[in-house]
């Protein structure tokens, strides 16, 4: 067989597996269970998005979530102020009205955890179709080969180089916790976000979430007034540099954009303290427009103290096989926790872009 025809007959799975790099599989490990979702390292670039009108599907949701909380299902608050867990409903079976109810629930509760889902096995086409109900899909490498609208989160102790598991000694900080919301420098940053567990450690590798809606409510009326009208300049150059340093492609052109520090959710009408992870010393070069450097640093440090130290508005999402977490990237901040030992951790994230923040 000529090298040319051999290349042509490669399966997508083989191509994707190759692009992860060398996988020295350990004894007893049969390799990734979802090889078709392994990260590729295509160095494709994509044009910047044009601004479009966004209608939040949550505005069509019902107050009692009757199309989501179906007969026989169970749901409960994870904590009083953030998070909802649902069992007995398949995300893959929801009607359009059910997806609208899910949007409103995610907007209200910040995070919705679905357990025992078949979603990971319904195929790329249906997975993307479901997420498209919530908006245009964001692109952020690495993604599975040929599927740019799916971001892959992959750590494997058997992988060489860029996808190998993170050890505490690899960290530049004392902890792996880095609070943020995703892609805030976009004109229309992601809102509803699907995080689909493909392969999970037995314990660990959780995600922490904080409610930015509840954080706003914690502030005094006088302090809230002092924040009105302020804008934060968001900048993605740090992310581009990080991708380059890891040999990963970056879709982005450098972007620098100011968005309101206090934004309003179009589905709930709630105000949101949208300063998650912003500020000096956390690798996110952001500042408050029109403030002097010390003023901006001090304000953002204080606001991030509110977000990061308020255990009463935070939750922890742990993963089981079949878990899908849907969060509203506008209403919550999040951070991964790299504490798991030696097991593969494989997720895909599908993020729907929302409105231009107002
Ligand atoms: Fe993130």
Cβ–Cβ under 8 Å, residues 106 and 136 = no
Distance 285 CA to ligand 1 centre (A): 16
Nearest Cα residue to 93 out of 75, 116, 119: 119
Distance from Cα 275 to the centre of ligand 1, integer Å: 14
The segments of the chain whose pLDDT lies below 70 read 1-29, 160-162, 168, 278-285
> How many angstroms does the Cα of residue 180 sit away from the middle of ligand 1?
6
* C-alpha 339 – ligand 1 centre gap (Å): 16
Q: Which domain holds residue 251?
A: 13-22+35-40+56-353
Confirm whether 51 is domain-assigned.
no
Centre of ligand 1 to C-alpha 70, Å, is 30
Question: Does a structural domain hold residue 6?
Answer: no
Cα–Cα distance measured from residue 172 to residue 125, given in angstroms and rounded to the nearest whole number: 39
**Could you report the per-residue pLDDT of 154-188, keeping only the tens digit for each?**
988 887 666 777 776 777 777 888 899 999 999 99
- The CATH number that applies at residue 219 is 3.60.130.10
How much is the pLDDT for 328? 98
**Please, what sign has the CA dihedral across residues 183, 118, 319, 268?**
positive
pLDDT score for 274: 96
The answer to whether residue 30 sits within a structural domain is: no
What tokens were used for 155? 């750590």
pLDDT, tens digit, 9 for 90 and up, residues 115-167 = 999 999 999 999 999 999 999 999 998 899 999 999 999 988 887 666 777 77
Q: How far is the CA of 334 from the centre of ligand 1 (A)?
A: 6
Residue 277 Cα, ligand 1 centroid: separation in angstroms? 11
Would you say residue 47 lies in a domain?
no
**Spatial separation of the C-alpha atoms in residues 17 and 136, rounded to whole Å:** 28
In a domain, 245, yes or no: yes
CB 137 within 8 A of CB 131: yes
Residue 333, number of CB atoms within 10 A of its CB: 27
CA of 195 to the centre of ligand 1 (A): 10
Over the Cα atoms of the chain, what is R_g? 20
Q: What does residue 205 show for φ and ψ, rounded to 5 degrees?
A: 70, 30
CA of 80 to the centre of ligand 1 (A): 24
Separation of alpha carbons 141 and 355, rounded Å: 22
At 317 the pLDDT is 98
For the entire predicted model, the pTM comes to: 0.90
Distance 176 CA to ligand 1 centre (A): 13
Q: Do residues 266 and 257 lie in contact, with contact meaning Cβ atoms separated by under 8 Å?
A: no
First to last CA, the chain: 59
Q: How far is the CA of 11 from the centre of ligand 1 (A)?
A: 31
Has residue 129 been placed in a domain?
yes
Look at residue 20 in the predicted model and tell me its pLDDT: 47
Distance CA 356, CA 72 (A): 38
Number of domains in the chain: 1
**Is residue 268 in some structural domain?**
yes
Sequence-distant (6+) residues with CB within 8 A of 162 are 21, 41, 246, 247, 248
117 in a structural domain: yes
SS3 196: strand
Residue 336 Cα to ligand 1 middle (Å)? 7
């Amino acid at each position: 067989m000529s090298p040319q025809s051999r290349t042509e007959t490669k399966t997508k799975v083989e191509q994707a597996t190759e692009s992860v790099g060398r996988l020295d599989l350990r004894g007893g490990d049969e390799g990734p269970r979802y090889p078709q979702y392994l990260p590729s390292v295509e160095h494709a670039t994509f044009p910047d998005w044009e601004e479009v009108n966004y209608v939040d599907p949550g505005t069509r949701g019902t107050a009692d979530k009757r199309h989501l909380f179906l007969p026989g299902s169970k749901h409960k608050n994870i904590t009083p102020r953030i998070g909802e867990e649902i069992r007995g409903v398949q995300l893959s079976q929801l009607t359009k009205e059910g997806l609208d109810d899910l949007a409103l629930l995610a907007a209200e509760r910040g995070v919705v955890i679905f357990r025992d889902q078949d979603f990971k096995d319904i195929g790329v086409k249906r997975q993307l179709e479901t997420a498209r109900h919530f908006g245009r899909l964001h692109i952020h490498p690495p993604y599975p080969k040929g599927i740019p609208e799916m971001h892959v989160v992959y750590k494997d102790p058997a992988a060489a180089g860029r996808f190998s598991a993170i050890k505490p000694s690899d960290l530049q900080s004392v902890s792996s916790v880095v609070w943020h919301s995703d892609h805030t420098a976009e004109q229309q940053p992601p809102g509803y976000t699907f995080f689909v567990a493909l392969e999970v450690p037995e314990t660990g590798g959780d995600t922490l979430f904080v409610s930015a809606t509840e954080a706003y409510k914690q502030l005094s009326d006088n302090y809230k007034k002092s924040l009105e009208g302020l804008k934060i300049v968001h900048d993605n150059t740090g992310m581009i540099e990080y991708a380059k340093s890891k040999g990963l492609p970056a879709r982005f052109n450098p972007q620098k954009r100011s968005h309101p520090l206090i934004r309003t959710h179009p589905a709930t009408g709630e105000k949101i303290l949208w300063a998650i992870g912003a500020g000096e010393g956390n690798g996110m070069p952001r500042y408050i427009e029109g403030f002097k450097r010390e003023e901006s640093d001090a304000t953002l440090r204080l606001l991030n103290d509110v977000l990061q130290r308020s255990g009463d508005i935070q939750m922890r999402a742990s993963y089981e096989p079949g878990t899908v977490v849907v969060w509203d990237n506008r209403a919550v901040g999040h951070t991964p926790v790299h504490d798991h030992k030696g097991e593969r951790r494989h997720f895909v994230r599908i993020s729907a872009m929302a409105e231009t923040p107002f």
